[in-house]
Chains A and B, each alone.
Chain A
Amino acid sequence: MIKVKDLTDKEYLYGHKACPGCGMGIVGRLAAKVLGEKTIIALPASCMSTVTTQYPQMNFSVPSMTMAFPGTGAVLSGMSAGLKSLGIKDVNVVGFAGDGGTADIGIQALSGAVERGDDFIYVCYDNEAYMNTGIQRSGMTPYGATTTTTPSGSASIGEKHFKKNMFEIMIAHRIPYAATACSSYPTDFMNKIEKAKNTKGPAYIHVMAPCPTGWGFPSDLTVEIGKMLVECGLWYLAEYENGKVKMNLVPKELKPVKDYLLAQKRFKHLKEEDIKAIEENRNREWELIRKNWMK
């Protein structure tokens, strides 16, 4: 278990150019501290690569490689195989990819790499749209969110589909370790990184990373928004290991989704019935969670 007072003062991700209040910045910094210096990082086209590896200013103080958008899973396989063949041991091979780079364009390479059982950690930081390119919708954009490609309007509610569930897709692969997390719960997240680090074979962590720029909230509310997200049950903290899912945090009572939604510009246009539809879907999801994972 991670103890905050034992965390290293050393920064492995420092001086990056992310927006103020970026959830991904928290994710990258904390993960890197737990991973330590014997870590190699792969980054597809994403916010993370854009704000960390602009020649000649490199912000990771561990080896890193920027990669083609669809190939994160495969490049991790290659790094892992290369290290193995060269007899280099005890290195964390880690991918940081956004939600689009994971659930959309990168899902094939990720699926292949997980199915092969290659040894790596894959962190999907989910900010629920293609934020790096200007807030276009992804397969992870939630229902009702306005984005630059799903703008709300007289004939549009915004995004018309609910989020893809990457956690369950990873479970379907019978991956050794998978977890969900949120940047507002740093100890939980770091513990999961630690577990992933100690996992033999692939490990997947899907971490929510609130985005002030894309979601439309003040940059000092990143932690607060992430907490509201989990407390209202539109996200949950869970982990899958030894073939079982464990819920890490179950709110006694799920708070209304309305407060969470209306704290962000992207949902400001939603009507009462839209909010009700989102809450009903949340309830259905939690029924499944309780039925399948909390027996």
Chain B
Amino acid sequence: MTSGNKVSKREFLNGDEAVAYGVRLCRPNVVSVYPITPQTIVVEKISEFVANKLMDCEYIHVESEHSAMAAAMGASMVGARAFTATSSQGLAYMHEMLHYVSGSRFPIVMMNANRTLAAPWNIFGDQRDSMAQRDTGWIQVYVENGQEALDMIIQAYRLAEHEGIYLPVMVNLDGFVNTHTYELVSVPSQKEVDEFLPAFVSKNAVDFNNPRSYCMSASTEWNMEFRQQQHEAMMKSKKVIESIDREFGDKFGRYHGGMVKEYKCDDAEVVMVTTGSVSGTSRLVVDSMREKGLKVGLVKLRFFRPFPAEYFRELKSRVKAVGVIDRNLSFGYEGAVGSEVKSAMYDSCGSPKFIDFIAGIAGRDIKKDDIELMYNKLLNLSRGQEEAELQFIGMRWQE
């Protein structure tokens, strides 16, 4: 246990446990959660912390995910720091509440274990659940391992509670690949985290001398003004994300890249855009292909909302082809990340060549061979060969 110590300690944790450790270090006042695979270890671990006085918080055993978010919102309204966690169907079930929370500017932090959505029923990972929440007004970050998960829970509170932001933040971990994989994780000391993340003094908190109505109705005459402010806070958060990550890096020695993290992109002719756990595997492929002299690079997209459009606008002038590995699919069009990347790079001067790869749906492995195949398709495209813009990777019927 690291509580009270002044220095970080290394612990052997899975992603869910790393999240729970991160949450503990953030000292939330209220945790309201409902269990769902593969998020369960988070709620179990926090229960264990509370049961052993390692965490001092009100733990609400809600009866649904909708209520998990409703309770978090009630807690946030009275000025408490609130946490919840969910996955997949649970995220879908709380969809309505996501809008309430962001629209009322409650800085709640939620962990989401990325898992596919029924039907067909499946408990394994893809990012269809959270990508489908794109327009709910939540800041969304995707992490690739337990360390980044723990770090981003801490950063998420700083970001959510930042003056002028006051937006909820969703920290996404790939189900099982991240949530259930054990790795060595550096757990900062409570003292260090307290210095980085002071106790929450909410400007939203109730004041009986100055009573306010929260989350009220706003008519047609006023509603758009609220929406524009929400959007502006989201846009402003891009810079705040970067500065918080820098500050975190200075203090804890781990800078995660802000909005995106490049890998060997400086002289790359083709780059692949990834989210979450596939980024690590993709780096290995980049290394092996580089050894063969192929100029390939990787862009790990960390934040999906706000979206780093400026980055991609700049990237297009540096590369010949861009691919996206989308662990999601918007039926009838393409992958969600693919759409955003393509749209950001588009202008009247033309865009780089582009392929959207749909892969890893419902927990299907994205193997190194698959990634190499995707890079080779991008290289072919960059050399003038034809490639379909949307491709499914690792299908049974292509074998």
A residues engaging B (CB < 8 A)? 37-38, 40, 42, 49-50, 52-56, 58, 60-68, 70-71, 73-86, 88, 91, 108-109, 111-112, 115-116, 118
Task: Tell me which of A62, A109, A111 contacts B70 (CB under 8 A).
Answer: A109
Within 8 A of A (CB), among B50-73: 57-58, 60-64, 66-73
Task: Tell me which of A60, A66, A70, A83 contacts B217 (CB under 8 A).
Answer: A66
Is B67 a contact partner of A54 (Cβ separation < 8 A)? no
Given known A81-B30, A81-B71, contact A63–B207 (CB-CB < 8 A): yes
> Chain A residues with Cβ under 8 A from B15's Cβ?
none
Offer 21 A-B interface pairs, CB within 8 angstroms, sorted by A: A49-B216, A52-B213, A55-B218, A62-B208, A63-B77, A63-B208, A64-B211, A64-B213, A65-B215, A67-B215, A71-B67, A74-B62, A78-B71, A79-B78, A82-B30, A82-B74, A82-B76, A84-B58, A85-B57, A112-B64, A112-B67
A56 to B64, CA, bound (A): 33
> Chain B residues with Cβ under 8 A from A71's Cβ?
66-67, 69-70, 73, 97
What does DSSP make chain B's interface, helix, strand, loop or mixed? mixed
Given contacts A74-B71, A77-B62, A79-B75, 10 further A-B contacts (CB under 8 A): A38-B208, A50-B217, A53-B217, A54-B218, A60-B211, A79-B78, A81-B30, A82-B75, A83-B78, A91-B208
A54 to B79, CA, bound (A): 23
Given known A78-B75, A86-B78, contact A109–B63 (CB-CB < 8 A): yes
Is B70 a contact partner of A74 (Cβ separation < 8 A)? yes
> Chain B residues with Cβ under 8 A from A116's Cβ?
60-61
A112 to B34, CA, bound (A): 12
Interface size class of B (residues with CB under 8 A): 35 or more
A42 to B212, CA, bound (A): 12
Given known A76-B74, A78-B72, A84-B58, contact A111–B63 (CB-CB < 8 A): yes
Given known A76-B74, A108-B64, contact A65–B82 (CB-CB < 8 A): no
Question: Does B80 belong to the interface (CB within 8 Å)?
Answer: yes
B217: nearest chain-A partner, CB-CB = A54
> Chain B residues with Cβ under 8 A from A53's Cβ?
213, 216-217
CB distance from A289 to the nearest CB of B (A): 30
CB distance from B138 to the nearest CB of A (A): 16
Within 8 A of A (CB), among B198-250: 206-208, 211-219, 222
Is A66 a contact partner of B64 (Cβ separation < 8 A)? no
> Chain A residues with Cβ under 8 A from B60's Cβ?
77-78, 81, 116, 118
A211 to B100, CA, bound (A): 29
A56: nearest chain-B partner, CB-CB = B222
CB distance from B51 to the nearest CB of A (A): 17
> Chain A residues with Cβ under 8 A from B72's Cβ?
78
A86 to B282, CA, bound (A): 46
A58 to B210, CA, bound (A): 12
CB distance from B13 to the nearest CB of A (A): 26
Is B29 a contact partner of A68 (Cβ separation < 8 A)? no
B77: nearest chain-A partner, CB-CB = A65
Question: Does B96 belong to the interface (CB within 8 Å)?
Answer: yes
Is B214 a contact partner of A63 (Cβ separation < 8 A)? yes
Q: Most A CB atoms within 10 A — which of B30, B71, B100? A: B71
Is A42 a contact partner of B213 (Cβ separation < 8 A)? no
A64 to B57, CA, bound (A): 24
> Chain B residues with Cβ under 8 A from A56's Cβ?
222
CB distance from B238 to the nearest CB of A (A): 28
Question: Does B32 belong to the interface (CB within 8 Å)?
Answer: yes
CB distance from A70 to the nearest CB of B (A): 6
A116 to B64, CA, bound (A): 13
Task: Tell me which of B80, B104, B219, B222 contacts A85 (CB under 8 A).
Answer: B80
A88: nearest chain-B partner, CB-CB = B78
> Chain A residues with Cβ under 8 A from B222's Cβ?
55-56
Task: Tell me which of B30, B75, B97, B213 contacts A68 (CB under 8 A).
Answer: B97
A83: nearest chain-B partner, CB-CB = B78
A77 to B32, CA, bound (A): 9
A81 to B61, CA, bound (A): 11
Task: Tell me which of A60, A61, A70, A81 contacts B75 (CB under 8 A).
Answer: A81
A119 to B168, CA, bound (A): 26
Given known A82-B79, A86-B78, contact A66–B216 (CB-CB < 8 A): yes
Q: Most B CB atoms within 10 A — which of A42, A91, A118? A: A42
Task: Tell me which of B70, B82, B213 contacts A82 (CB under 8 A).
Answer: B82
The 7 A-B residue pairs with the shortest CB-CB distance, nearest first, are A78-B74, A71-B70, A112-B63, A74-B67, A78-B71, A82-B80, A82-B75
Is B80 a contact partner of A81 (Cβ separation < 8 A)? yes
